[in-house]
Amino acid sequence: MGKKKKPVKKRTGKAAGRSPGKAPRPRQKAKKWSLKETNALLKSLIDKEKEILQTEDALVEAMRRFRDLFEQSPIGVGIHDTEGEILMVNKTYLEIFGLKAFGDITQQNFFRDLGLLETNISKIKSGRVIQHEVEFDFDSPGMKTEREGAGYILYTISPISRDNEIIGYMVQCQDITERRKVEESHRLAQLGRLLSDMAHEVNNPLMIISGRAEFALIEGVKDEKTKDTLNTILEQCFFAKDIIQRLLKYSRLGKVEKKTLDVRNTLELISSILEHHFRMSNIKLEQEIPPGLPNVRGNEKQLQEVFMNIMRNSADAMPEGGVITIKAGREGDYVRIDFSDTGEGMTENILQNIFEPFFTTKQQGTGLGLAVSHTIIQEHGGQLKYQSEIGRGTTATVLLPIVYPTGQ
Amino acid sequence: MTPRGVKKEVKMRGKNILIVDDEKKIVEILANFLEMEGFKVMKTYDGQEALELLLADTPIDLMLLDEKMPVMGGTTLMREMRKRGMDIPIIVLTGSISITQRASSDKEGLYTNLLVKPVRLSELLDMVNRVLKESAGKGQKKAKKKKKAS
């Protein structure tokens, strides 16, 4: 008996201990639970259950609040595991990318899919917060999106830690496309102003140099050598002034005279100038320019420069040689000229930037050729467009408005 | 130094030219050159300074005006002069190219005579003579009109 009693006692003690307010009754030889005791125990269990349910409700409520916060945040949020794989995203995240479902997300792993630099990846893994901007082409075939065109997404990647250990990552996405567009146009305007200021700063000293040299010449210099030197100084000053003016072309500065002309002549001239260079570089030039193209109104020299720039770029894209095809024809109110090459093509990233001043992929490029060309064509009321495919080639299209003979 | 374009020189010699430019070395070059060509030259280094000189009724036949200056720029000075009905011919000299763009959309007619630095002194002299001649012509017409009116 005595042996059996002990565990019972213990159990009684435990049970009594659990019910709040009820002191254990060591005197009682708990053979049986009295009704009172059973009721008390039941009551305490019910209380406990209530307590648990309340806690659970509070937890559910907290979860809901968190969920609302998560879903309704104006910032796209994605939770990723330690390997960078995506686990969950909020509604805004899907909206930003124009997606319907979680499964449509193409940027599944931010370590792999966002084009992050190695240095940034190691920074992230060491627990630092990183901001990273990605430009998307929503028209590209790989994307299941309802968005169109290009978009700029700013990612903020931060670690989720417990007890000093990274257990995952939070990726916040913001659509900054509009902001970038505005910034872009501001930047171009600013660059124009900067160049204008620079012109002012450089042209003043040029005035002093050329002025002194010319004044000395006017005063009379007997020594031929000195005369020569002064003339060279003068020449070079005005050459420098020319360079500055050319540099400023892209920002639509300096009006030019336009005449009615046949682009066929311009294209033939440029082709003949480049012919020798092309032959040396193993480049074949094919032309499909029908006679009797409608006339356009333009500045002959500027259009020559544009065609030259386009064809030089085509040649540069074919270091091993290839074919450049020039096709011209009428398209509505425009004369359309296509320059196609069989070169290496350009990535979407490069394609987006080709008209940016000072943007270049060439070792010795100024980054002004296409920027100037683009501006020239725009000033002619036309369009310059590029299409490119990696490994297949690039096509530059020039559209110039037709001039109708007077009286028509 | 033999004066060039003798006929013009004879007429225009002795005319008063006011140079306004904050770049002292440029003022010196222009002044030396124009003095050598027989003009009387006054030098100022800011628009404000020039305006004070004009308000003091200093006789000036032509102004060579820089566009960008620290206290009062060329454009502001020209507007101030217009407000006060001052009708002195002005040649605007600028180093910044943006002004050529502005000149093409110049509604106020401020930049009729515009030169972009660096400018050849011979080119400057041609313009100085042309502008002075035009202004003299205008002056004669005005005088004739006045005579007719009276």
Average pLDDT of span A21-41: 72
Task: Determine whether the interchain pair B104/A255 forms a contact, defined as Cβ–Cβ distance below 8 Å.
Answer: yes
**Is the confidence at residue A247, as pLDDT, over 80?**
no
pLDDT tens-digit readout, A161-183 = 999 899 999 999 999 988 887 77
Mutate which of A202, A203, A217 to disrupt the B interface (most B C-beta within 10 Å)? A203
Confidence (pLDDT) at A25: 59
My answer on whether A90 and A199 are in the same domain is: no
Has residue A47 been placed in a domain? yes
Nearest CB among B30, B68, B121 relative to A218 is that of: B121
Dihedral over Cα of A244, A249, A254, A260: its sign: positive
In DSSP terms, A326 is beta-bridged to A287, A339
Has residue A292 been placed in a domain? yes
> Phi first, then psi: what are they for A282, rounded to 5°?
60, 40
Average pLDDT of span A207-219: 94
Averaged pLDDT of chain A: 84
My answer on whether A85 and A118 are in the same domain is: yes
| CATH at A105 | 3.30.450.20
pLDDT tens-digit readout, B13-25 = 789 999 999 999 9
Last residue of a domain, one of A24, A50, A72: A72
My answer on whether A323 and A354 are in the same domain is: yes
**Is the confidence at residue A347, as pLDDT, over 80?**
yes
My answer on whether A155 and A234 are in the same domain is: no
Q: Is A236 on the interface with B (CB under 8 A)?
A: no
Distance CA B126, CA A30 (A): 127
Q: Which residues of B touch A234 (CB under 8 A)?
A: 120
CB pairs < 8 Å spanning A and B: 81
Pairing of strands A150-162, A130-137: antiparallel
Q: Is A206 on the interface with B (CB under 8 A)?
A: yes
| CATH at A273 | 3.30.565.10
Task: Determine whether the interchain pair B26/A255 forms a contact, defined as Cβ–Cβ distance below 8 Å.
Answer: no
My answer on whether A99 and A153 are in the same domain is: yes
My answer on whether A190 and A168 are in the same domain is: no
**Is the confidence at residue A153, as pLDDT, over 50?**
yes
Domain count of chain A? 4
Average pLDDT of span A188-192: 72
Residue A231's Cβ-count burial label (10 Å; 0-12, 13-18, 19+) is: middle
Query: Considering only A84-88, A171-175, A281-285, B139-143, which range has the smallest mean pLDDT?
Result: B139-143
Q: Which residues of B touch A215 (CB under 8 A)?
A: 29, 32-33, 121
Task: Determine whether the interchain pair B29/A196 forms a contact, defined as Cβ–Cβ distance below 8 Å.
Answer: no
My answer on whether A202 and A84 are in the same domain is: no
Confidence (pLDDT) at A364: 58
Residue A288's Cβ-count burial label (10 Å; 0-12, 13-18, 19+) is: exposed
Has residue A16 been placed in a domain? no
Distance CA B77, CA B48 (A): 7
Q: Is A122 on the interface with B (CB under 8 A)?
A: no
Asked if A359 and A367 count as a contact pair (C-beta separation under 8 A), the reply is yes
Shortest Cα distance, chain A CAs vs residue B134, angstroms: 26
My answer on whether A170 and A239 are in the same domain is: no
- Assigned architecture for domain B13-149: 3-Layer(aba) Sandwich (3.40)
Q: Where are the alpha helices (DSSP H) in A283-324?
A: 300-316
Confidence of residue B108 (pLDDT cuts 50, 70, 90): confident
Task: Determine whether the interchain pair B29/A209 forms a contact, defined as Cβ–Cβ distance below 8 Å.
Answer: no
My answer on whether A274 and A367 are in the same domain is: yes
Asked if A271 and A313 count as a contact pair (C-beta separation under 8 A), the reply is no
Has residue A12 been placed in a domain? no
Q: Which residues of A touch B100 (CB under 8 A)?
A: 253-254
Confidence (pLDDT) at A20: 54
Mutate which of B22, B96, B100, B126 to disrupt the A interface (most A C-beta within 10 Å)? B96
Print the domain residue range for A156.
Answer: 76-175
